[in-house]
Amino acid sequence: MSAYVIKIFLYEIEPLIWRRLSVPGSVTFAEFHSILQRAMGWNDEQAHQFRYGKGRHLSNVIANSQEEVGPQDNFTNEGEITLAEFVGRRRVPIRLMYRYDFFDSWTHEIVIEDKTESEGELKMLEGERACPPEDCGGSFGYKECLEGFSEWMDDDYDPEFFDAKSIAL
């Protein structure tokens, strides 16, 4: 069984918030979404989708609903395609965009960096920095929170903290 080394990072946040994990090829994109939620620290409270394509034309969509898919887009149900089927004969690295929470517009880049012939174990490998709190207003709201302009920010939140061993995928 093959596995993939995948790096995910969040756009518009400096310093970078990122994770690297090993994911079995048998995982569907619906399962992959759940894995990414846990890896990044999100609560899976909002809509999401994966987009890919050539150049700037990311018209291929993998999601659980066609709700946020335009008529020109090519839709694939995320429960019906595995990572291995998606990668197929493509050469790595492969880049995808992962959008989460269309209102706050959290945009992530996913890079399928490598294919390995392993036991296919799901594993967090490494990463840096804590994920922004859910519903904090996107990257702009998050920056305001860090600058002390938000009264609802949890006092225990440490944006620099990340412990790969504490993440249960």
Structurally, the chain folds into a number of domains equal to 1
Quote the CA–CA distance of 14 and 1 in Å, as a whole number. 36
Residue 70 has a pLDDT of 74
How confident is the prediction for the chain on average, in pLDDT?
Answer: 85
The better pLDDT of the pair 12, 110 is held by 110
pLDDT of residue 149: 60
Enter the pTM of the model. 0.87
| Secondary structure of residue 128 in the 3-state scheme | strand
Structure confidence by residue, pLDDT tens digits, 29-55: 999 999 999 999 888 888 889 989 876
Q: In the chain, pLDDT over 70 holds for what percent of residues?
A: 90
From CA 21, how far away is CA 123, in angstroms rounded? 6
CATH classification at residue 126: 3.10.290.30
For residue 29, the enclosing domain spans 2-166
Rg (CA), the chain: 16
